[in-house]
Amino acid sequence: MTLATLVFNGQSLQMFVEDGRSYESPAYVHISEVGLISGEEARQLAWLEPQNSYTRNWDQLDEKPLDKPTRWARHHADLSFFQLTELLSKIDSPELLVAIPGSFDDRRLQLLLGLVEAVPAKICGVIEGALLYAEDYHRAIIQIHGHQTVISHLEHTGQYMQILNCEVVSDIGSLQLLKNCARYISERSVLATRYDPMHSAIAQQNLFNELPSILEKFKTSSETVINIKSPDSNFSLHLNLKHIQQMLDQKFEALKVVLKDYETEQLCLSPQSDLLKLLCPALRELKVPEDSLIERKCMRFATQAQREGKPLKRLNQILLSHISDLPYDKESTQKDKSRGRIATHLLHDRCAWPLSSVLSFTLAQDRLSIACKEQSGADLVLSLEDGNLSITQKKEDLYALLPNQVLPGETLQIDEHQLALIEVVDA
């Protein structure tokens, strides 16, 4: 079995695998004449053929007939099952911790678990996704979905942090915000040049493809200039972030009411909510956890669920001691350290490479070379963090399997090469 965490965050499906691999599939499904298309490929068709594109199948997971049922899909559950199968096909014999948004009611969760088991895949646990992002000082987690924003309210009860309740703020989703930004660019363009970059389906798709990179520029500057391509010529267009924020201000009123009783440090945005942080000034100071932190938490909770082997239950509370940014096996690792049983070096080709350094690995003609520094062109870069080996850079198709613990005798697999962890004392 391959242990992984499957995260439903409303904008995409994410999968974090025990060997360090991760995958993401945007929450788009397209019905073509020859079958279904999901993920990034479907996103590239969403504005070309909106009548055949679906973005609500996860938020509205059900078995009600589609307005236009086809031979490929009868309802949202069929669309979701196809995307789920496509994603899980990337690993062998998946055993999953399933992380769901708080907006999933029991009926939707039951249907989701049925789809997962039909893939087929084994489920070792179910956890509310907000707990993946929470630290012990947080009181609410904000997650933006495709068509809504979900607020999970937290409380402390003794040694536990639990989700008190969830609120859904409708009409504040990533797709609505992107549409508003596109409309702003369209209006600015018409005023400046009389050309509308949304005048056709192809033009709309091109604009929406470029929007992420356009908005990325606003992270470092409140103003930017973009190039608009028209049939007759290309021209520059000046954009102002403050104007976009003012245009959206009324839209965020309901969200600000929900969060009015919280201090800034008590709130946390999920990693997929950068767009909300950028466009809503009231949230600009909020912290967003790094993907690497979420990946470590995912695998910590998945390993715990697998070991406990308890009957499936929707987990909405966790021990405070389990949510700090520490490896799950820190206690056992510390014991091994005290016994002098922690690995210090990596053995390869009769040379010992210190784990205290960042190690870069390069493959050429089936030969593996190592350097004690971070190299931008390396196939794999490893570092030791909190007693665990961590991948900081990896070539997409490279196979790398890290040991569960940094102990003498454990091995590291890189492509066809197996390297041993050793302990060097008084060298």
State the CB neighbour count (10 A cutoff) for residue 275: 19
Is residue 113 located within the same domain as residue 47?
A: yes
Residues 239 and 203 in one domain: yes
Residue 341: pLDDT band with limits 50, 70, 90:
low
Shared domain for 198 and 247, answered yes or no, is yes
Is 64 found in the same domain as 23?
yes
Q: For the chain, what is the mean pLDDT?
A: 89
pLDDT tens string 259-305: 999 999 999 999 889 899 999 999 999 988 888 888 888 988 998 88
Question: Is the domain of 6 the same as that of 122?
Answer: yes
- My answer on whether 121 and 193 are in the same domain is no
Domain with 261 in it: what CATH number?
3.90.640.10
Instruction: Indicate if the pLDDT at residue 329 is higher than 50.
Output: no
At 221, the pLDDT band (50, 70, 90 cuts) reads confident
Q: In which band, very low, low, confident or very high, does the pLDDT at 214 lie, cut at 50, 70 and 90?
A: very high
Output the pTM of the full model.
0.74
Same domain, 294 and 354: no
Q: Within a 13 Å sphere around the CA of 59, how many CA atoms are in the beta-carbon half?
A: 23
Domain presence at residue 260: yes
Model confidence at 108: pLDDT above 70: yes
Residue 325 belongs to a domain = no
Asked if the structure places residue 398 within a domain, the reply is: yes
Q: Which residue has the higher pLDDT, 403 or 288?
A: 288
Residue 290, pLDDT score? 83
Mean pLDDT lowest among 205-214, 262-271, 406-415: 406-415
Does 184 have pLDDT greater than 90?
yes
Mean pLDDT score, 242-247: 94
Q: Return the pLDDT at 246.
A: 94
CB 323 within 8 A of CB 305: no
The pLDDT of residue 330 is 38
Both 279 and 306 in one domain: the answer is: no
**109: CATH:** 3.30.420.40
Q: Is the pLDDT of residue 91 over 50?
A: yes
Lowest mean pLDDT, pick from 30-39, 114-123, 233-242, 336-345: 336-345
Same domain, 98 and 214: no
Q: How many domains does the chain have?
A: 3
**pLDDT score of 426:** 58
Does 263 share its domain with 307?
Answer: no
Query: Quick check: 114 and 121 in contact, CB under 8 A?
Result: no
Question: Cα(257)–Cα(187) distance, rounded to whole angstroms?
Answer: 30
Q: Say yes or no to pLDDT of 336 above 70.
A: no
Q: What is the DSSP letter of 323?
A: T
CA distance 134 to 167: 17
Query: Is pLDDT at 10 greater than 60 in this prediction?
Result: yes
Residue 327 has pLDDT above 70, yes or no: no
Q: Which of 283, 299, 326 is the last residue of a domain?
A: 283
* Residue 252 counted as domain residue: yes
Q: Are residues 293 and 278 in the same domain?
A: no
Could you give the percent of the chain with pLDDT greater than 90? 60
Whole-number pLDDT of residue 332 = 40
The boundaries of the domain holding residue 184 are 147-155+165-283
- Residue 129 is assigned to a structural domain of this protein: yes
Q: Is residue 332 part of a domain?
A: no
Query: Which residues sit opposite 80 in a β-bridge?
Result: none
Torsion sign, CA atoms 151, 157, 162, 165: negative
In a domain, 74, yes or no: yes
User: DSSP for 361-413?
Assistant: EEEETTEEEEESS--TT-SEEEEEETTEEEEEEE-TT--EE--SS--TT-EEE
Decide if 125 contacts 109 (C-beta within 8 A). no
Sheet with strand 317-319: strands edge to edge: 267-269, 140-144, 148-157, 160-170, 317-319
Q: What is residue 335's predicted lDDT score, i.e. its pLDDT?
A: 39
Q: Note whether 119 and 35 are same-domain residues.
A: yes
In a domain, 247, yes or no: yes
